[in-house]
Every structure is written in structure tokens, then in C-alpha cells.
Structure 1
């Protein structure tokens, strides 16, 4: 439905805008950037739990690197190129995989270093056709939750299972209980030998099946350097969105000279797994907005608690409550405009703030707050109310359960 279009919802929530003379480039507003950072920090923490090490790589890189990797031949028309008089042209990166291989190559590696798991929220640019721009769903500048695992062939199944478990858990916590899986096989134009592709396709399919997945085969849809599993999540409107992917690559490490010393002391080329859970951060936010009809889970909402003094006599104590909420790690907003309480509550509903904390004369006298959400209304003392709201955010619950708050009579 039109009202669930993420562009309309984002305008209502004041999340971002796009300038006419910079199509496909996102200007994130405070509320939108707050949502973005919450999502980023959430995934960063999940990746850290699984021993991924975060790195950061340059955005502007020499043409020679893209020629060696094969991206220049494959993606040149979609790359932003910066010509130089010296002839050493540069280009904005459309993806981070060659950079992560350069980090791997910066030191001598042995089999004991594998698997090496690198992650990056990497800023990428692709010169997409102007007619394909669509809010957050298709942009020219975006950030990927890029991750690459350098490993040995016998470690592939374990690493794929590790990724599938993480992806399933993340999607579930964000409200997506179902997803479809496809295995994209060798395209007509590809790098690497048929033997490499035979092995890569067979190993990725076996790894997928070992996790209980039954991917649909998609001939000809693989990346130019390897087959990939593609994960399409389903939203509440029944639509399918391709987001997560994991690709098995026997080609790129060799092209960029990656090697390690095996257990016999011989040089060997590692296997590379490319993967992402969100894909584009902005695109995933657009999907998330439409899936939740703009009413984001409590732990993700840019503003979690609307603090409402009934009158100017409660303004001081409302400001104090806001400070306590901030100290507890929550994101409150003080609605202290001169309008009536009813109009201010409507305003907070328009911004889809999940919880309203009302402070009137009674609350000021007995040290309580009245909390309102879609699930109902509760009265709690400050300590209990703030602690339970913080617990709701920490546990990544969608709403504040009524039985978490102790009524004060």
C-alpha cells in the first residue's frame, strides 16, 4: 500500500532526503542516522561474538587493482573513475573484496591463521542508471555489511554453517521469520576453470544442505568468480526481498596473489567466502520500514520514549526524567510544546514513538510515571519504569510487556 512505501514513511519520520542534483546519494537526518547506527551496532556486536575482526579500507583505489581482480572488465561501466594526468587512474570501490585480500596479503600467513574472518561496513559507489533510483532501495552511494572469510577447503562447510546460523538469528530478531534460499550457478562469462566451478558449486551446495537448507538452483546467476547462496526474506505483505548472500570464490585470491604456508610448509592459495546479511544498509532500512509499517521495534526506534509533562508545572521534573532515561541508555524526546497534552500525544503517535511517559500532578507527587503504548497503559515508579524500559531495549523486545511493569497505587 502507498502509505507503507518507505519513502513516505521516512518523510513522516524525518529520516533522510535526497537532493535533486545528487540522485542516489542519501542525506541522513538525525533520526535516520540514529536508526542506521543502532542497526550497525547491533550487527557489529553479533559479528564480534563470532570472532570477526572489523577493518576499514580506502574508498579510492588504483585502476590496476581492479584490473588484476577482474572487476574492471566486469563492472567498469558502473564504476566512478577518477582520471589522472599520470595515467594512473583511480576508481571509487564498488565492493570491498580486493581490499580485504590486500589486508590478508600484508603479512605472511600460515594455516594456523585460518580461518581469517574480516568484516567492514564498507562505503561503496556504483554508477547505477538514473531511471533505476528508488529511495533507499536503489542508490549510487551505499554501505555494505561486507565480510570475507579466508579459509582452507576443508573449513568451508563449517564457515557456511556459521554464517547461516547468524543470518537466521539476525533476521528473526528483526521480525523476519521466513526466508527463501537459491543457489546461483556459473554464468556464461566467468573467471576460473570449469574444474574450479565444479568444485565450488558442489561444495557450496553440500554446505547448504548440511545446515538443513534446500536451495532452488538458478543456472547462470552466479557471480563472475564463484557460485553464491542468495537469501530472500519475506515481509508481512508477502513480498520477497533478496538481501543476504554468501559466495564461494576459488578465483580472486589467486588473482591477487594470496597464499599461506600449509602444515607441510608449502605455499597454498586460500579459499574466499564473501558474505553479507543486510547487503546495503540503506536498502535494508527501507525494507525494515515497509515490513513494520514504520512502527519499528522498541529497541530500534530512533525515539523510544516521548516524555510528556501535562503542564508547565511538571516541566522541570520531565527534564529530570529525560536525563535519567538517557543515563539508562534510552533515547527519549521531551515534548514540551505549548499545545495541549492530547495534541502532543498525537504528535508522538505521528512520529511512531513506541512509548509515551506522562508526568502530571499526581505523578510529580508520588514519584511515578504513567507509561502508554499500543499494548496498554501502566503506572510505575521511576526506578522500575526506567529499568524495565532499558531491559526491553537490551533484550531487543518489540514492545514493553505489561507484566514487566509494577503498578503503583
Structure 2
């Protein structure tokens, strides 16, 4: 059997490639210290698994009592004591039979051991080779674990962790199994790092689009619709309508032609495109509609836009053909990951497909990048970077097996990024199944990245559908496809913008741009007149004619983050004016109606991110 030093060195391979190794080992070690403290507090608790995760760790226990705040305080203090005692983490290799004997009273560990003997990891996935069974021990606590860990508990900062909450979690994520208690923790290298993270958590909670979506009446999730099918309320629908007009106007001016294509198609369409083979698990099951015909809710628009291209003969003079659609798509996201607007099962993508000659690829990619930059500037999106998303040459199931195609496509996208002077990083295994991508990665308040925009280069689908254009030599040639989405899905973009602005949308995007607040009932007619006048000018203005007092109405408008609050009294009516207050609390005083109209018109046209010009 391997020595302890050899086992510790070998365990380093389990650190995910995008995880800081020092933090991974630190958090894994905190998870074991937590497990020891929990078992000491609750001797009946059965530990299951406790891995590092983003920003911390968790550990699941079979525990039939609900820990109280007093319990969590005791566990935290015991963890600090264990850390100060500086217990070394020892590892040794054991046989399956030895492991069964050590964990004979824990059915969860016994199940894990059986999986290890079959070449599976702790999650039931193929481990890619023989599995060495190891146990780690510090103090009196021993755990079935592959590592790695820090050298001793003394390498942990006792003031750099926090138990955040205890939730329910099914063993191995299967609702047919018993519900366990999951202890969530965050852990860092220093107390200062912990405090900075807790501040980010507080800010993220303040900006959470699910919370703000309820408070600002933007969207709702109704159980009767099922998970992942949110509905936009009038205010949320207004923002979406503005975004749709915003991006389609940009596309139209850039030479895109907009289409409407069906949300369903025969299964054969997706078999031909390859989505059925490569994406089936993320698609809804087929619907039988008689005569043996099976219809599928589309997960992508590309096969549909291909049919638009094929509807008539194409010449080299016709290219590029730029086809765009606000396309509604359906993807079977697992119930455990759907939530709010950011992960949904029904989405509308700002989608487009460009059919180009090989000599047009660079120019068209440049056009997409310029369009994206314009849209981002108007929306105030600044914190982003570019990723060249490549295939994994060893994964023949996920990716089309065509090494020459992949090498060509990845080289062309890399060259485009370099020529535009755009800093980027490369990521293997992030490509679409049919081609490489340039992905635009934006950060949320927690610093987490998600893909908002994408440019995909595709030599594969044109072959699958035998697409052609007549070249200058009168011979048929194969076009190249560029798949692109500039502002993502309407749902994800709305979620992102809610959090970016913390619900305080800029004037041009705000669902309600101004609220008229009459001081007394005698001012109602004037207020109604202005509201009607401005609505006809396509300004989004409402009048608060409720019985609440003026200060309460102003406060409510501020809570709803309405940009302008217009107070109307006798003086304003006599002067044909409104008294303008900003949602930030600043009082601009009386302004003639025509002056306020000019202000609102200017803010809409300029798409300013501020409340006032300049």
C-alpha cells in the first residue's frame, strides 16, 4: 500500500481545475472539523458526505432533530477549539473490508464503499479507473475521504468560518431517499476575507432578483404552472417589451431580418440537427399527435432558421443572410436548479443565425462584437470578459468527432479576438456540441460568472442539412453558420438587470417613469389630465389617487424605485407645472410641464443611466 506522503500527493488530483487549491483543502478540512463537532453534539447523527463547494462547504447528516441556534453556537465554538488544538490530518489506505468494519454502523458510508469497489466516486459516477479507498483522521474523528486536506487543524483560522444555515437535502439528491440535514458553511483563509464575503452576501441579498421581483411586482412564480415557468406581471412585461424593441431596432439597422418560426417541430428535425443525440436529456419528451407523428418543443432555434435559409435558392451575392428572432424555447432544467428568472424551462432568446461565405466570417464576427458592445454600453454592463470555449477532444459523445473542423473553428475565433485586441481566456469543454464559441462572461455581485452573450462558429450543421449557395463560378458551395445571442434570453437578462440596478432601473427602462402625487382631491382632475397626456406621448406615468397621505405616497413611490415623483398642489396647477423629486430624495422644485416633458423625452432618447442629463 502507498505511504501517507504518496496518498496525500495523489489526492491533489481531486481538486477541480478552476478551484484555488489552498482554499479547496482549507474548506475540505473545515468540513471535517464541522463533522466532528456535530457528532459530538449529536452522537446519534450519521455523517454522509461533506465536500468543498463555491465559497465554502457543506456536510450532510442523517439527523432526526432540528438544530437550534444554541446548537449551532456550541458547534461553532467546538470547531474553534478543535482548530486551536492543532490536530494533524492523517490518511491511510484501507481495504474494502477494513472500511466496512470501520463504518459498520453507518449505512451511508457502507453504500459509498460498495460504489468505490465498483469503480464509482461518491456521487455514483464512473471514477475513470480503480479507486483507492482511503480514510482521513484528525483527533478522534475518522472519515471515508479521498482528500486532500491541510496538514493539521492548526492551519485553519478559527475566526475565518461561519455556519450559515441548516437545510434539508435528500441523500444523493433523490427524493425517494431520506431527507438529511445539510449544514452549510463558508470558510476563508483569514477573518478579513470572511468579513468581506459576508458583506458580499448581504449586498447580494439586497439585490436578489427574486426578492426584488416580488417587492417591485415584476414577476411571480405560481405553483400551478410548475417549476421553471414564471409569469411576468405588467411592470416586468413592460421592461421586457422595451428590451425587445431596443435589441430588434439595433438588429434591423445592422441588416438582420426578423422571422417567426414554430415552437414545435417533428422529432426528425432534431435528429438531423444532432440535438436529439447530444441534447436529448435537456429536452422535453416528444408528444404523439396521431399517425405516428411525434412533435418536440424546441430547445434551440437554429434548426428552424436553417429552414428559413433553405426556403429559396441562394447566391453568393445574397450572403451574408442574417436571420433573427425573439425565439421561445423549452429546456428541461432539473427541478433542483430552476428558480426565479435566471434558470427557467421556457425562455425567449434574442437569437440570430448568420449564413456566410468563408471570406465573410471575420467581418461578421466583428459586426456581432460591435453590436454587443453598443447594447452593453446602453445597458450599463461593464464587468465582463471574453472566453474562447473549446471542445474536449477526449469526449467523443458530447462533441462532434471532427478534429479538423474543431481546430479550424477554434483558430478562427482566437484570431478574431486577437485582431480586435480583446483580452480573453480559453476553456476546454465549454463549446457547443457542433462548434466552438466566444462567450461573454459577466459577473454578479458575488463575483460569479455566467454567459450572457455568445458567438458560435458552426461548420457542422450546414453539412447536416446540406446547405448551399451558388458561388461566382456557378458551383454549389457550403455556407458557414454563425449562431449568436447578444442580450441572452429575456428572462435571464431581466434577472441580471434587476440585480445590476438593485431594482432602480434607468429612466428609459423603468416600468413606471414618474408618479403624479396630488396633495388634495381638488388636484385630481389636473393629475388625470397630465397622466393621460403623457401616456399618449408614450411616457410611462401613473397617478396615485389613493386616500393615503402625501408623504406616504412619496415614500411608496421611492420604495417602488420610480425615477421621478411629481407633487401637484395649488401652485403647480396655477402655473401648469409639477414639483419634481427624485427617487434618491433630491427635490428639484417646480418645473413647467413642457420642461419636464423635454427632460423625459431626452432621457428616453439618450438612454442615459442617470436621473438627470449631464
Distance 1:368 1:134, change over 3 A: same
Matched, 1:201 2:406: no
* Partner Cα distance (2:375, 2:499) in 1: 18
State which of 383, 394, 402 in structure 1 corresponds to 2:594.
383
State which of 329, 345, 369 in structure 2 corresponds to 1:140.
345
* Partner Cα distance (1:402, 1:217) in 2: 40
Aligned residues of 1:355 and 1:371 also touching (Cα < 8 A)? yes
Aligned to 2:380: 175
User: Following TM superposition, by how much is the alpha carbon of 1:85 offset from its aligned partner in structure 2, in angstroms?
Assistant: 4.0
* Partner Cα distance (2:289, 2:597) in 1: 57
Aligned to 1:234: 443
1:400 partner SS: coil
What is the Cα-based RMSD across aligned positions, in Å?
A: 1.4
* Partner Cα distance (1:251, 1:87) in 2: 29
Aligned residues of 1:258 and 1:270 also touching (Cα < 8 A)? yes
State which of 494, 502, 524 in structure 2 corresponds to 1:315.
524
Aligned to 1:283: 492
Kindly provide the CA deviation profile for residues 2-43 of structure 1, in whole angstroms up to 9, marking residues without a partner as x.
221101100011111112131101211111100111111111
User: Following TM superposition, by how much is the alpha carbon of 1:214 offset from its aligned partner in structure 2, in angstroms?
Assistant: 2.7
User: Following TM superposition, by how much is the alpha carbon of 1:376 offset from its aligned partner in structure 2, in angstroms?
Assistant: 4.1
Comparing 199-208 with 268-277, greater Cα deviation is found at: 199-208
Matched residues, number? 403
State which of 316, 327, 332 in structure 2 corresponds to 1:111.
316
* Partner Cα distance (1:378, 1:263) in 2: 67
Kindly provide the CA deviation profile for residues 54-87 of structure 1, in whole angstroms up to 9, marking residues without a partner as x.
1111011001110000000111122122124422
* Partner Cα distance (2:407, 2:205) in 1: 45
User: Following TM superposition, by how much is the alpha carbon of 1:402 offset from its aligned partner in structure 2, in angstroms?
Assistant: 6.5
Aligned residues of 2:438 and 2:456 also touching (Cα < 8 A)? yes
1:317 partner SS: helix
Aligned residues of 2:442 and 2:452 also touching (Cα < 8 A)? yes
Aligned to 1:406: none
Q: How does 1:359-374 map to 2 (within 5 A)?
A: 359-373=568-582, 374=584
Kindly provide the CA deviation profile for residues 323-356 of structure 1, in whole angstroms up to 9, marking residues without a partner as x.
2211322100111111111011111112111101
State which of 272, 287, 307 in structure 2 corresponds to 1:68.
272
* Partner Cα distance (1:224, 1:45) in 2: 31
Aligned residues of 2:506 and 2:611 also touching (Cα < 8 A)? no
Q: How does 1:203-282 map to 2 (within 5 A)?
A: 203-235=412-444, 238-282=447-491
User: Following TM superposition, by how much is the alpha carbon of 1:321 offset from its aligned partner in structure 2, in angstroms?
Assistant: 0.9
1:337 partner SS: coil
1:130 partner SS: coil
Kindly provide the CA deviation profile for residues 217-246 of structure 1, in whole angstroms up to 9, marking residues without a partner as x.
111221110000110123466443321000
* Partner Cα distance (1:224, 1:365) in 2: 67
Aligned to 1:31: 235
Higher Cα Rg, which structure: 2
Distance 1:192 1:272, change over 3 A: farther
2:562 partner SS: coil
Greater RCO, 1 or 2 (C-alpha within 8 Å, sep 6+): 1
Matched, 1:91 2:284: no
Matched, 1:149 2:354: yes
* Partner Cα distance (2:442, 2:587) in 1: 31
* Partner Cα distance (1:348, 1:214) in 2: 42
* Partner Cα distance (1:355, 1:236) in 2: 27
* Partner Cα distance (1:251, 1:69) in 2: 9
Comparing 73-82 with 51-60, greater Cα deviation is found at: 73-82
Matched, 1:20 2:232: no
Aligned to 2:89: none
Aligned residues of 1:248 and 1:273 also touching (Cα < 8 A)? yes
TM-score, normalization by structure 2: 0.64
Kindly provide the CA deviation profile for residues 352-398 of structure 1, in whole angstroms up to 9, marking residues without a partner as x.
11101111110111111111112542421111111211111121112
Matched, 1:355 2:568: no
* Partner Cα distance (2:283, 2:604) in 1: 40
Comparing 357-366 with 80-89, greater Cα deviation is found at: 80-89
Aligned residues of 1:389 and 1:400 also touching (Cα < 8 A)? no
Aligned to 2:210: 7
State which of 475, 484, 503 in structure 2 corresponds to 1:294.
503
* Partner Cα distance (1:312, 1:199) in 2: 72
Comparing 344-353 with 184-193, greater Cα deviation is found at: 184-193
Matched, 1:44 2:253: no
2:317 partner SS: helix
1:223 partner SS: coil
Aligned residues of 1:184 and 1:222 also touching (Cα < 8 A)? yes
Aligned residues of 1:303 and 1:331 also touching (Cα < 8 A)? yes
Comparing 327-336 with 104-113, greater Cα deviation is found at: 327-336
Aligned residues of 1:328 and 1:386 also touching (Cα < 8 A)? no
